[in-house]
Amino acid sequence: MIEAGRVAPRAGSCHAGALPPPPPRRGLSVPLWGDAADAEVRLAEVAALGATDVALVVTWGQPDVRAAAIAPSPATAPDEAVRRAIRAARGHGLRVLVFPILTVDRVAPGEWRGTLAPADVDAWWQAYERFVLHYAALAAGDGAEALSIGSELGSTEAWRDRWYHLISRVEKVFAGELTYSANWDHFTGVSFAARLDLLGVTGYFELTRDADASEDALTRAWQAPRDALLAWAQRQGKPLALTEIGYPSLDGAAARPWDYMRRAAVDVEEQRRAYRAFARAWGGTPLAAIYVWEWSRPGGADDGGYTPRDKPAACELSTWFGAS
């Protein structure tokens, strides 16, 4: 394993060949689960990788998709741990996006946070505003540069007036950049896009049905979704960020990058190919920012999760980001 604070890739794990320039803001997501005890070590590693930005992921939860109550859960990092992480990230020269995500404890088939249907919409929205405003105050207090006001809440995205109300309240607390993370398959339905500083979309596009698709094939497969995203951002007159871009280290990950729960063989080489194809397809475009999902420990060759840590993908990212 690599030492804490270092992200030296495995020998021979990087492929030669120049890549087009990365976006001006290139970051990774660092989830702050529970006590977030190793967050400062992971932030040092993210900075060493050559990142300019980091998304600090925090969560509150609700029991099911019909519930109206939202509250901290066992996975919620204490506020002081979030503050320490913001200060540590800024100490490493990283711009900070505070990224609150709502989790749902119990879901039936087809349910997730994108299908929320609260029995009492008014009560749920009041609870949701409390959740976001809590992290807006934390972000402001410790100097974070950006805040996401939501992630993948598809069934609520047509509630324009409610979102406008929330944004107005957030702006009284937090003076930084505001974004929202829309799901990859319905990003054009965000009715409040005009009130955002940065358009955010997750990047879990299903690029292929071939579990062994080549780097060239994956690069070509990005053309249609890339062009659709850039055209949408141009129509909105806003810069575009991919708020989550990630591939689990599983065979066939590029076919269903959002599906990290399925049973498949660990395949760190496919993860590497997918990231290099992403860099080839998106490098040099008007994309403003990316946040790779996600940087956690331990990683390594036997880990089938999203983290690139101690895998060939880390080398590709480091090379693209320009780290020494």
The whole domain housing 238 covers: 25-321
Residue 4: what pLDDT?
Answer: 42
Residue 323: what pLDDT?
Answer: 58
Give a yes or no: residue 18 inside a domain.
no
Closest-CA residue to 187 (of 213, 150, 215): 150
pTM (predicted TM-score): 0.94
Give a yes or no: residue 20 inside a domain.
no
Q: Place 108 in a pLDDT band, splitting at 50, 70 and 90.
A: very high
User: Is residue 180 within 8 Å of 200, Cβ to Cβ?
Assistant: yes
Each residue's pLDDT tens digit, 63-104: 999 999 999 999 999 999 999 999 999 999 999 999 999 999
Contacts of 59 (CB under 8 A, 6+ apart): 33, 73, 75, 76, 100, 101, 102, 103
Number of structural domains, the chain?
1
CA 154 to chain CA centroid, Å, is 16
Residue 11: pLDDT over 60:
no
> What is the rounded average pLDDT of the residues 260-280?
93
Give the dihedral sign, CA 240/244/247/249. Answer: positive
Give a yes or no: residue 301 inside a domain.
yes
Give a yes or no: residue 169 inside a domain.
yes
Residue 3: pLDDT over 90:
no
Residue 192: pLDDT over 60:
yes
d(CA 230, CA 245): 16
Residue 324: what pLDDT?
Answer: 40
Give a yes or no: residue 33 inside a domain.
yes
Give a yes or no: residue 119 inside a domain.
yes
Residue 190: pLDDT over 90:
yes
Residue 293: what pLDDT?
Answer: 97
d(CA 36, CA 75): 10
Percent above pLDDT 90 for the chain: 89
Give a yes or no: residue 5 inside a domain.
no
Mean pLDDT of the chain: 93
Q: Place 6 in a pLDDT band, splitting at 50, 70 and 90.
A: very low
Give a yes or no: residue 202 inside a domain.
yes
CATH code, 201: 3.20.20.80
d(CA 156, CA 50): 36
Each residue's pLDDT tens digit, 117-165: 999 999 999 999 999 999 999 999 999 999 999 999 999 999 999 999 9
Q: Place 10 in a pLDDT band, splitting at 50, 70 and 90.
A: very low
User: Is residue 260 within 8 Å of 306, Cβ to Cβ?
Assistant: yes
SS3 (DSSP) at 30: strand
